Structure 1
Amino acid sequence: MSVIVAERSPSPAGLIGPGAVIAVAGPSGAGKDSVMKAARERLDPALPASFIRRIITRPADGDAEDHDSVDAETFRRMSADGAFAIQWEAHGLLYGLPASMDKFVASGGVAVANVSRGVIPQLRRRYAHVVPVVVTASVPVLAERLMRRGRESAEAVGARLRRAVAQDLQIAGAETIVNDGSLEDAAEQFAALILRVCEDVRAERFAIP
């Protein structure tokens, strides 16, 4: 989506703004991809928000998010060339958010990005306004979804669930969406949150760091 937003004064402390980053985290099986996709379909395309397409060292398939797939060697070369605003490694895979996200946020746009929990402090050191969102579900629901997905053994699924319970994805200032019920309900909550952040950016209501 191409959005033109009037330029504003630089953000404080050298952080990128005045736009915002909505950083979406959550345990495997919570349905982050489904909630994000359904919310996106509910939004006006003219809204100054963009769902960031990730670059991942994982082949694309119909059951996963829509992403750009590259091998590890290509990813590292792209990294050396400055192709990523943010990058991280998780579960043996490399993930990157494109450098173009910086310019979009600097223009006043709201970037919506699917990230790992541990990346949020990195985002906060780069962008003036970061809104963390945790998409989660109850342990029985997570377990059922992970087993149905069939990507991992029962032991690996159990390990994921233990990590989810132990960490509980505690993130300071995070909004929480519990995706236990209908996808429509969770998507409506997330779409409303995106609209609110867009309005906060437009009205310059974010607190000065």
Structure 2
Amino acid sequence: MTHRLIYVVGPSGAGKDSVLHRLSEAWSGMPPAHWARRTITRAAQAGGEANECVDRPLFERLLQAGAFAMHWAANGHAYGIRRLELAPLASGHCVFVNGSRAHLPQLLGQWPEATVVEISAPADVLLQRLRARNRESVQAISDRLARSTQFELPDGAIRIVNDGPLNEAVDMLLAALQLRLGEHAAWAR
């Protein structure tokens, strides 16, 4: 029943962290859920997701020790999801992972029934949001935007466009997940 693994992808600036945070607040009445914390080789950033920040040598030691259930590299950083973060799946919980589009083939090879969610926004909105972050050079932003169109989603992926009020994107995602999870008899309440 890997449909309970909810793997969220989308371009930088689409608002994945904001949507996931607000979704966690609106999750009442849904199946039990866990929002997986990522391990990342970058410094913590104010207002960003709650993550575990490590340096590259420690990340490599964790990787060699088999600590990660999944890992990938993107935008000059290494990302991993520790095995413990997926443990709630065994107890029937949904587990949300803020993932990488480039890692989708590996993810679906390991968890073929995972629920894939894409959160996106039009290019002009992405550009405006990335500039407002003031974290990267103009070239780095341009590179991120170029990558945003270079991948294909699997059939059945949930697609959310986050270009209006945040609550609208959250409501659309919540409704889509209720429908998806309701398709599985074990989730009926």
Partner in structure 2 of residue 150 of structure 1: 134
Match of residue 184 from structure 1: 167
Structure 1 unaligned segments of length 5 or more: list them.
1-16
Q: 1:200 to 1:104 in 2, by over 3 A?
A: farther
1:103 aligns with 2:96: no
**Unaligned stretches of 5+ in structure 2?**
none
Q: 2:3 & 2:88 partners in 1: Cα distance?
A: 8
Q: How does 1:46-195 map to 2 (within 5 A)?
A: 47-165=31-149, 167=150, 169-173=151-155, 174-195=157-178
RMSD: 2.1
Contact preservation (8 Å) 2:33, 2:95? yes
SS of corresponding position for 2:110: coil
Quick one: structure 1 residues 28 and 19, their matched pair in 2 at CA, closer, same or farther if it must change by over 3 Å?
closer
The answer on whether the counterparts of 1:25 and 1:133 sit within 8 Å (CA) in structure 2 is yes
Q: What is the number of residues matched between the two proteins?
A: 187
The runs of 4+ residues in structure 1 deviating greater than 6 Å are none
Choose the corresponding residue for 1:40, options 21, 24, 28: 24
Q: Once the 2 structures are TM-superposed, how far is the Cα of residue 189 of structure 1 from its aligned partner?
A: 1.5
2:182 maps to a residue whose letter is E
Structure with greater proportional helix content: 2
State the 1:159 CA deviation: 2.3
The one-letter code of the counterpart of 1:199 is: G
Give the TM-score taking structure 1 as reference length: 0.81
Q: Deviations over 1:161-209 (max 9, x none)?
A: 22224x2x4211221100001000001122223333443445379xxxx
C-alpha distance in 1, partners of 2:44/2:144?
22
Structure 2 residue aligned with 1:7: none
Please give the secondary structure, in 1, of the residue aligned with 2:69: strand
Deviations 1:29-86 (A, max 9, x none): 1111001101111012773221111111111121321101111111111122221110
Work out which of the two has the higher radius of gyration on C-alpha atoms and give 1 or 2: 1
Whether contact under 8 Å (1:52, 1:113) holds in the other structure is yes
How far apart, CA to CA, are the structure 1 residues paired with 2:16 and 2:31?
A: 21
Secondary structure at the counterpart of residue 47 of structure 2: coil
Q: Who is 1:26 aligned against?
A: 10
TM score, norm. by length of structure 2: 0.88
User: Is 1:135–1:177's contact at 8 Å kept on the other side of the alignment?
Assistant: yes
Identical amino acids, percent of aligned pairs? 37
Preserved CA contact (<8 Å) 1:110 1:197: no
Contact 2:31 2:94 in 1 (8 A): no
Shift, 1:129, TM fit: 2.1
